[in-house]
Amino acid sequence: MVRQALLDGADANRHAACREGSTDVVGQTGRLIATGDLHDNPVHFRRLVELAGMTGQGDLAHLTLHEIIHPDQLLGEVDFSYRALTRVAQLKADFPEFVHVLLANHELAQIIGSGIVKNGIRVVEAFNDGIDHTFGSDAHLVTDAIEVFVRSMPLALRCHTPRGDILCAHSLPAAAAMGRFDTTILEREMTDEDLAPRRGSAHLMIWGRDYDAEQLEDLVERWGVVMFILGHQHVPNGIELVRPNAIVLNSDHERGVYLDIDLADPPSPEACLGLARSIAPPIDCS
């Protein structure tokens, strides 16, 4: 069941009508629920699914999800966040034109075996331990399906709006890496070389930090966008503006937020700072 959900999610990633090259592209109508890193926060995930109308109530909205695995809290130093990845894959299979699962550095690190230490834990190894503990001799089947799903993820979601395009992605390349970055990657299919550590363009993009105003303005010209919505960097208050036009969101911690954007009437980057909403479920005081 887990393996099949992952494979179904991969098929939906690759064959959704919105997929163009390594980017999902949606039109000028409807709503966008934009999020930051999730890191296996099940309460926040359920809330986002509700907000996007995917529980049968309300109109469907486009929903971005990324940095799904590797939570802060583990069970005996074992990570079971393959379950979160499976839920997301199933959601993509159920709503292929509305769920946009963006490639992020932790998912890529997991399938290529890059070392990440978080709170003193080697998270790639802890994730593998969770799969081994759960599936035993069938663990390799689940691991292979996870790799298929991760490799199918788009790098970005491009939203056409009357005020210009919004680009949602996990991150952007560091300013110092722009000379090695192929900006045409959004328009074509990703290759194995794009995923190569420290040299591939997809790797440079999803691991990137320290982008600056000059670089953002350059990417605006190259990609034809007016605003970026990103994750990857820790933001204590849940939202931050990197001027002139990059919004950074966190959706995993207690002050995590999301943006609910009307694609027919999108806000400016500055206005987004006042529109961020707490992702914590409302408290029932009845």
Q: How far apart are CA 51 and CA 60, in angstroms?
A: 9
The average pLDDT across 104-118 equals 89
Q: What pLDDT is stored for residue 28 in this prediction?
A: 86
Kindly write down the DSSP assignment for every residue of 54-120, as one continuous string: TTSSS---EEEEB--S--SS-BTTB--THHHHHHHHHHHHHSTTTEEE---HHHHHHHHT---EETT
Query: What local confidence, expressed as pLDDT, does residue 285 receive?
Result: 56
Give the model's confidence band at 75: pLDDT under 50 very low, under 70 low, under 90 confident, else very high. confident
* Other beta carbons within 10 Å of 53: 17
Residue keyed to tokens 């230490």: 117
Helix or strand (DSSP H, E) at 19? strand 19-20
Question: DSSP alpha helices (H): ranges in 115-232?
Answer: 123-135, 139-152, 201-207, 213-223
Task: Check whether 103 has a pLDDT greater than 80.
Answer: yes
Q: Which domains does the chain have, with CATH numbers?
A: 20-278 (3.60.21.10)
- Whole-angstrom CA distances from 209 to 28, 125, 180, 197 are 30, 25, 15, 15
Burial label for 126, CB within 10 Å (0-12, 13-18, 19+), is buried
72 pLDDT tier (thresholds 50, 70, 90): confident
Q: Would you say residue 272 has pLDDT above 70?
A: yes
Tell me the pLDDT band of 284, cut-offs 50, 70 and 90: low
Among the residue ranges 58-72, 77-91, 118-132, 182-196, the one predicted with the least confidence is 118-132
The alpha carbon dihedral of 182, 186, 191, 192 has a sign of positive
Q: Is the pLDDT of residue 134 over 80?
A: yes
Q: Which residue in this structure is represented by tokens 């992702």?
A: 279
**pLDDT value at residue 282:** 64
Question: Mean pLDDT score of the chain, rounded to an integer?
Answer: 95
SS3 262: strand
Rounded Cα distance between 6 and 163, Å, is 36
Please, what is the Cα angle at 131 between 110 and 202, to 5 degrees? Answer: 15
Binned at pLDDT 50, 70 and 90, residue 32 comes out as very high
Q: What is the pLDDT of residue 86?
A: 98
CB 22 within 8 A of CB 186: yes
Please give the pLDDT value at position 113.
82
Q: Does 266 sit behind a cis peptide bond, omega within 30 degrees of 0 on the bond before it? A: no
Q: What's the rounded Cα separation, in Å, for the pair 249 and 21? A: 25
